Chains A and B, each alone.
Chain A
Amino acid sequence: MDATQIAIAERVAEEQRHHKKAQFLWVWAALLVMTGIEVYLTYQNMAPAKMLTILMGLSLIKAALIIGFFMHLRYEISRMKWITMCSVVACLILMTIFFFPDAHRIITLGVK
C-alpha cells in the first residue's frame, strides 16, 4: 500500500479501536435468538405465505445487523453506505420485477 492508503487504513483502525466488545456480543445474541424464533415458527403450522413473509422479514433484520455491525457499514461515511446498498437493492429489485409473474403467484395461489 502507498502512504495515502496506509494513512487511511490507520485512521479506519483508530476508529475501530473505539467499538465496544459488548455491542458485538449483543448483536451475536440477537442473531441467535432470531434464529431460534425462526425454528420455533417453523413448527407452528402457519400458512406458507405468512410464514415466508415472517421468515424473510427476520432474515432481513439479521442481514441488516450483520452488515451494519459486523461488516462495520454503520460506521462508514454515508456515501459508501448509500452507493453499496442502493446498487445491490436496485439489482435485486430488478430480479424481482423480472420474476414478477411468479412472485405474483405466491400471493394469489400460495406457496405449494
Chain B
Amino acid sequence: MQPDGFHEVEETVRGVLRDVLGISAERAAAFDEATPLFGALPELDSMAVAGVLTEVEDRLGIIIEDDEVDGDMLETFGALVRFAASKALT
C-alpha cells in the first residue's frame, strides 16, 4: 500500500527525466516500475545523473547526500521513484 503523495512523487520524477534528458512526453509516460535507467538510457550518462539528482532535489524539496547515491537507486524508474518517495514523504 503506497503512502499518500506517492503518485505525485512518481509524476515529478517522470517530469524531471523528461525535462533533463529531453525525452518526449510519450516516451516518459511509458516509463514504469521496471524501466531500466542508468546504463540503459543513452541520455542518462554521468553528467546527466548530476542534473537529474539536483532537479529531483529542487522539485521535491529534499536533499540527497552523496553517499546515498548508488547504482541501485538509479537502476530502474521504480527504484528512483521509491528512493525519492522515501525522502519526500517521511
Say whether A associates with B.
Answer: no
